[in-house]
Amino acid sequence: MKTVEEIKAAIEVAVPGARAEIVPNGSPSAEHSLLLDAAHAFAVAKFLRDDAELKLDFLSNVTGVDWLDKETTEKVKVTHPVEKEVDGVKTIVDETVEETKKTVTPGYLEAVYHLYSMAKKHGPVILRIRTGNRSDKVELPSLTPIWRAAEFQEREVFDLFGIIFTGHPDLRRILMWDEFKDYPMRRDYVDPDDYEYEPTPHDEVLKRAQAHQAAAKTEAAQ
């Protein structure tokens, strides 16, 4: 089979304007993946399925990954001009102060596709597509029109991660019930406070149940 570099080159030739970036994998499995831009992902996927040499006709696995906003703090030395009284005379002196500077790298949601070829019996080719952020730009193109295997799996990713797949024929919640609001596989998911009835509370659950009951009591007292 072609290497990831060759596939990347083939994609860039076949789909004009498409960008593919190799995401290295540090583990001994060394399965490197290709990061596609969302705008061209559909055309690239179609190329990968129909290309005579690759023929990736089997979409095995679709999943989501949540990457939180990353906050990095670094200590920076900043020089300020400070007015000081030295021997009764006011002078402006440069003073160096150490400040902590916070930079936030915005997080994103990522859809990962594992492709194999049943005809050529090779694989995997791993595709990744990333959303703009984790809140309002969460749309990605659906690959269900290309591989039907994505139908339920993209619904699951929508259900648990909140990625909206545009072009999906039937995008509804699949494992959670329709009225459910949050996305339970997000890294910052907080379980709903519903500990009215907990038959065998212990450890963390016991703490939460007690907190819930205390809150309910104060609410009733008011």
Partner 1 sequence: MSESLLETWNRPPVIEADGEGELLEISMGPHHPSTHGVFRMDVALDGERVIKLKPVFGYLHRNHEQIGQTVGYLQMMPYTDRLDYFCSLTNNWAYALTVEKLVGQAVPERAEYIRVILAELTRIQNHASTIGFLTQEMGASGTPLMYAFREREKILDLFESLTGSRLMCNYMRFGGCRVDMSEAHLNAARKVVAELPQFIDEFENLLTSNEILMARCQGIGVVKPELAVNAGITGPMLRAAGVNYDIRKVDRYGIYDRFSFRVPLGEHGDIYDRYMVRVLEMRESLKILEQALKDIPAGPFVDPKAKIRGFKPKPGEAYGRIEAPKGELGFYLISDGGTSPYRFRIRPPSFINLTILEDMCLGQNVADVVVIFGSVDIVLGEVDR
* 146, 45 Cβ separation under 8 angstroms: yes
Kindly write out the interface string for residues 78-107 of this chain, putting x where it contacts partner 1 by CB under 8 A and - elsewhere.
------------------------------
Burial 163-184 (b: 16+ CB within 10 A, else e): bbbeebeebeebeeeeeeeebe
Stretch (H or E) spanning 82:
strand 70-86
Binding partner 1 (rule: CB under 8 A), the pick from 16, 17, 28, 81 is 28
Site for partner 1 in 114-173 (CB under 8 A): 114, 118, 121, 124, 126, 141-142, 144-153, 160, 166-167, 169
Binding partner 1 (rule: CB under 8 A), the pick from 174, 198, 201, 212 is 174
CB-side neighbour CA atoms (13 Å) of 165: 32
Beta carbon nearer to partner 1, 128 or 212: 128
Beta carbon nearer to partner 1, 11 or 150: 150
Q: Does 16 bind partner 1 (CB under 8 A)?
A: no
Sheet with 108-117, side-by-side order of all strands: 20-23, 33-36, 122-130, 108-117, 58-67
Binding part of the chain for partner 1, among 7-15, 28-36, 83-91, 207-215 by CB under 8 A, reads 28-36
3-state secondary structure of 87: coil
Q: Which residues have C-beta within 8 Å of that of residue 107, sequence separation ≥ 6?
A: 66, 67, 68, 69, 70, 133, 134
Site for partner 1 in 187-216 (CB under 8 A): 189
Beta carbon nearer to partner 1, 10 or 140: 140
Instruction: By CB under 8 A, name the binding residues for partner 1.
Output: 25-29, 31, 42, 57-61, 63, 65, 112, 114, 118, 121, 124, 126, 141-142, 144-153, 160, 166-167, 169, 174-177, 184-185, 189
